[in-house]
Amino acid sequence: MATDGWIGGNALANMQAMEMLRDLAQRSSEKAVENLGRLQRQQQEAQTQLGQLQRYRDEYQRKLHDSLTQGVSSSQWRDYQQFIGSLDKAIEQQQRRLGEHQTRVDSGREHWQGERRKLNAYETLHARGERDAAYRQARQEQRHSDEMAAQLLRRQQDTRHPQQG
């Protein structure tokens, strides 16, 4: 019976440690979600900026086309071309930034998924530990109940059949 107390105490310590690990994994998972959200917002901002640059370039291209129908000087033509070239470079840079943001989002998503898997594992182990503890408790209560019933039966038998001697 003394070993049952030690095992029970050890089980309690294990449950407390498991709860602590589960709580740490929960916080880590929450941080990973927050980080993923921040990365997704940054990616969306980069996508919005790229869209703005592309619309601006398209608008400027239309203006150039309209100006060409009215006639432009060679210096105006060169200025238009240089400006469109600058816009094209800015668009390329923004596309690279967007790709970098996508890579970060993908990495953040993988990190969050890993943290979530870890949390699920701890939750599963914790639930299993609680089931085991409940089972041990039920067994201990059953043993105690059986002992009490056996003692009661012995007393009843002793009162019905007193020993002679």
Mean pLDDT confidence for 117-129 = 90
CA distances from 132 to 12, 35, 136, 137 (A): 11, 36, 6, 8
- Is residue 74 included in any domain, yes or no? yes
Instruction: Please indicate, yes or no, whether the overall pTM of this predicted structure exceeds 0.85.
Output: no
Is residue 96 in some structural domain? yes
Domain-embedded: residue 4: no
Number of domains composing the chain: 1
- Domain-embedded: residue 119: yes
Angstrom distance (rounded) from CA 62 to CA 66: 6
Share of the chain above pLDDT 90, in %: 55
Q: Please state, rounded to an integer, the average pLDDT across all residues of the chain.
A: 88
Expressed as residue numbers, the domain containing 122 is 36-156
Classify residue 69: in a domain, yes or no. yes
Tell me the pLDDT tens digit for each residue of 20-32: 999 999 999 999 9
Q: Give residue for tokens 């039966």.
A: 153
Which residue type occupies 72?
V
pLDDT band at 82 (very low <50, low <70, confident <90, very high): very high
pLDDT at 139: 94
2 pLDDT exceeds 80?
no
**CATH number, position 75:** 1.10.287.1700
